[in-house]
Amino acid sequence: MSLKYSLDAAVKEGKVHGLLTIEVNRLPVTVAAAGAGVGFGTAVLGALPTGFLCITQTKASLAFSTSDTDLAATFNGDFSVGSAPDADGALAGAEIDVVPSTSMGPAVARVTPAATGRRAVGSGALFLDNTAGSLELNLNVLVDAADITDATNGIVLVTGLVQLMIGVLP
The 3-state secondary structure of 127-153, one letter per residue = EEEECCCCCEEEEEEEECHHHECCCCE
Contact 80, 117 (CB under 8 A): yes
Predicted pLDDT at 16? 64
Predicted pLDDT at 4? 40
**Architecture (CATH level 2) of domain 26-169:** Sandwich (2.60)
Predicted pLDDT at 78? 98
- Predicted structure pTM score: 0.89
Which residue would you say has higher pLDDT here, 96 or 120? 96
Q: pLDDT tens-digit profile of 2-25?
A: 334 344 445 455 556 688 899 999
Q: pLDDT tens-digit profile of 10-66?
A: 545 555 668 889 999 999 999 999 888 999 999 999 999 888 999 999 999 999 999
Q: Helices H, strands E: what count in the chain?
A: 1, 9
The 3-state DSSP composition of the chain as helix, strand, coil percent (nearest 5) reads 10, 50, 40
Compute the residue count for the chain.
170
Contact 48, 165 (CB under 8 A): no
